[in-house]
Homo-oligomer: A and B are copies of this chain.
Amino acid sequence: MNPLLRSWKTVRRLRRSEQLGADRTPPVTLRMLADRLGLHVSTVSRVLHAKPDESHRAASSATVERIRRLADELGYRPNPHATSLRTRRSNLVGVLVPRLSDIVLATIYEGIEESAGEHGLSTFVTNTRDVPGIQRARTEMVLARRVDGMIFGDAYVDAEFLGEVAARGVPFVLVSRRAGDYPSVTCDDYLGGRMLGEHLLGLGHRDVAVVAGEPYASTGIDRTGGFVDAYADAGVEIPRHRIVHSRFDARGGHEATEALLAGGERPSAIFAVNDFAAIGAFGAVRDQGLRVGADIAVAGFNDTPLAAELPVPLTTVRSPMHEMGRRGIDLLARLLQGEHVESERLRPELMIRASTHPTAS
């Protein structure tokens, strides 16, 4: 570039930044580095960008050194908007969850964020409250932000909406819930349900009920399925009216349990497909004047940190929530590299406590 022109441009830029007001330090750009070093901006870019194969071809090692030193002396941070604009890659991923105030999803998100950081990705996370209209709207919103890919923690098992997203060529993975044949990272919910079923069978419970969660979520479906199958294998058929759907929160578990306890003869054990619903079940049991553990067994799923602290500690199935989040990003990262990925199903662990087993811890 014509050196005269260059210095004129520099003058203009300085004047401009003065007008902006004093306190907000203007971010340092490649051009500033290049100007101060008497180099071309492309040289600086190459040196600061590609480590092994490019940088030594781009400049002499002395120059490389000069550039590096100035860059971190001035605290150079590439402008991600410029980079994204140029490369058509934003290193952003959108994450949809039903609600972050559900500790399960929040913990999964912690795993997502942790792993995303390691992959150089940033995440937009938003709540959809499991409402399809909101899922659509929020998906549009994050796609408008030009994310590279998405993670859905709120998949409907019918996968209708996901089909549309896939048709648009957006890379995504599912966490927590599975749907269709899309790549997902889930807990082995079916196995977890089975384990709990076998546990209750072993304790002699024959008349049991299930607070089954929302009918559109694979988590509730699979946990219930495993539980029911465990009983079927033992020759016990759980009647239809012993299985009631519910919201996934405490209130929902409370209501569902109320319904279950309303009938004439009550079950001797209740399996709620997540811990919050189980806590709601505690409330309903209490309202009936019954005692959890002594009069009726209650079990949950997920082993959230509260489970062990409850006045009657809760028997539950530990699901690797944090790990699910981490693997979710790992899968997505590989997807973004163009690799083909397989779904993963993580192993649950049965935690036996006093809510089903009076002599347990």
**Interface residues, chain A, with chain B CB atoms under 8 Å away:** 23-25, 27, 77-82, 84-85, 90, 99-103, 106-107, 109-110, 113, 117, 122-127, 141, 143-146, 168-169, 249-251, 254, 276, 279-280, 282-283, 286, 292, 305-306, 308-313
A75 to B312, CA, bound (A): 55
In the complex, the answer to whether A101 meets B110 with C-beta atoms within 8 Å is yes
Interface centre among A169, A279, A306 (most CB of B within 10 A): A306
CA distance A113 to B125 in the complex (A): 9
Taking CB atoms, residues of chain B closer than 8 Å to A122 are 124, 141, 145
Nearest CB in chain B to that of A22: its residue? B169
Is A106 within 8 A of B110, CB to CB? Answer: no
Q: Which residues of B contact A251 (CB under 8 A)?
A: 305, 309
Q: A106-B106, A110-B101 are in contact. Are A81 and B146 (CB under 8 A)?
A: yes
* Chain B hits for A77, CB < 8 A: 143-144
**Beta-carbon nearest neighbor of A253 in chain B:** B309
Asked if A125 contacts B127 (CB within 8 A), the reply is no
Cβ-closest chain B residue relative to A171: B24
Contact B305 A282 (CB under 8 A): no
9 CB contacts below 8 A, A to B, read A78-B144, A81-B81, A103-B103, A110-B127, A125-B125, A250-B306, A254-B309, A283-B310, A311-B312
How far, in whole Å, are A283 and B77 apart by their CA atoms in the complex?
48
**Is the Cβ of A101 less than 8 Å from the Cβ of B103?**
yes
Contacts of A276 in B (CB 8 A): 306
Interchain nearest-CB distance for A162 vs B (Å): 15
Tell me if A127 and B113 are in contact (CB < 8 A). Answer: yes
On whether the beta carbons of B81 and A250 are closer than 8 Å, the reply is: no
User: In the complex the two chains form, is A280's CB within 8 Å of B292's CB?
Assistant: no
Among B84, B101, B282, point to the contact of A106 (Cβ < 8 A).
B101
Compute how far the CA of A3 lies from the CA of B144 in the bound complex, rounded to whole angstroms.
31
Chain B positions within 8 Å of A90 at CB level: 81
Q: Which residues of B contact A282 (CB under 8 A)?
A: 309-311
> CA–CA, A311 to B298, complex, Å?
13
Of the candidates B78, B107, B254, which one forms a contact with A101 in the assembled complex, judged by CB atoms under 8 Å apart? B107
What residues on B are CB-neighbors of A24 within 8 Å? 169
